[in-house]
Structure 1
């Protein structure tokens, strides 16, 4: 059956679900989204797991078992999360096989407590990759300054990486460079790169949430609600520049796959905007859009598949140039969003560990 998601896939964009819990893994909801609707991947983060693990009793038996084993709350969390990720990877494995390894991925994030810790991030990324032991899994590493060298090293070790918490166009360039350096490092040791996949997750709605009030206050109402889309369109131009370069051609000839751009934070946070603001406008080849369940349902109901990502590229550049001319520093605002993003992931993670600790009868 043709759905809006399948039509979008035919245009070159994968639609992933930005959610996971044991209910949808076990009651057939995720399977139906994959088989009937065409969803071809899944992403998770600490906030998603907090919502999943803190409600109901699906994890209680595991928590009792882990409590008896005397493990820490964080160890308990990752033990349970890995099981969920493995189950989701199993449901998506037919997509991965059908797409010859180019789709069908599930993402698991390193601890948000490690966002400023390069060595800790790399160590945990390698550990999670080994423990999950599925080819269609990506380990999420934040695109912080400290995360960049960890991304390079993880790619060198052959790990699929989803770079998360990207808000800055300049940081995006650094992320692509880290990816290519990791591939080059690996090739220099005589190891293959054809099996390595990566996405760079650009967060969108949070950009408009932060900058819209600033634009209103400064009298730039014409740019309200336009900055996130402008950033996404400019990021795609950077993608085309870097992945059609001579440097990339050399890697491509060795079997390397381009690092796809992924649109994250796609649920509209401003009720004045349409529920598909960050979906319908950003459909293009070699991209991914990960959506919360309510946005998936909205797209299935009234989405409009079409090649829209490069519509209005010149307008996007005019918006970005106008911001610079008005002394609105997007890079500084991106840094603020990064800090807020780390905090927004740490708070639910701490809350989750506390909830697990209560059930285990220990502190969080």
Structure 2
């Protein structure tokens, strides 16, 4: 069955349907990863987006239940040049086409994804429609689409609090869920930390009442400026407990401390982004998925210091708050999938918690 991806700028890309055949609208973005399609498709940071894979063959090692980052697919559709119809891997339980059909996820293959990616790089990410036919009314609708707001409300854990790990560690940390990846919880668990997950709209008082020793701000979708109610909560928590923030959490941490954010032309989405540690000059490769970034020019009047930057476009990739055990990174040190070059940041978070506990005991 032929389907069409209709961009807001009027360009149309034809392809073949797989998975669900419902018509959808969303922001079309691209991911440059050669692997990790399953982790990307279940990453809540892609909620409401049409996810384009630049790698030409997707699904060659199939799908398995162990590599989910959340319980269900989060993009509203996926776009591929070619999908593997006979996956080959001992862990595979089904093909990507069967998975998409089972999860009601629309897909389109046989698309010229190189041309589509060039379109996004030139004009920026934009809204688009996935439809069965192209008519004047469809083109007019595509041109008038507007981005959704506050996507976090659609992906945050609704239970308060929810323990997402059965592991009972000696140190409990609160995780504010803005669209949490399970790999963040796994990274914390590996370091002996018990995670208690709170919805995005939780108050600071509720977090502190849970007798936690540290706070993690998770990744998530959408514009950080659509969550103003979270900022005073972050300020109160960072004054009382060690804090680490990742991706959207990093942007919210920056906003809470007086910085500004901006929407990037086409963002960073992939598993090979080189980042420089400005503290020692070393370079590591990172997994990234974000369409917004912290404005470096807005940091001068804050107490934030840049600790990491992307080596190609100098995007702010890490921040530290003066006189606080609080820091953030734009990339994913949990590396699911991707390189583990910055996994030690979770060790730094735990070390900050242990040091803070000792200070409290001796106070």
Q: TM-score range by the shorter chain?
A: under 0.3
**Which structure features the higher share of helix residues?**
1
Structure that is richer in strand per residue: 2
Normalising to structure 1: TM-score of the pair?
Answer: 0.25
Q: Which has the higher contact order (CA 8 A, sep 6+)?
A: 1
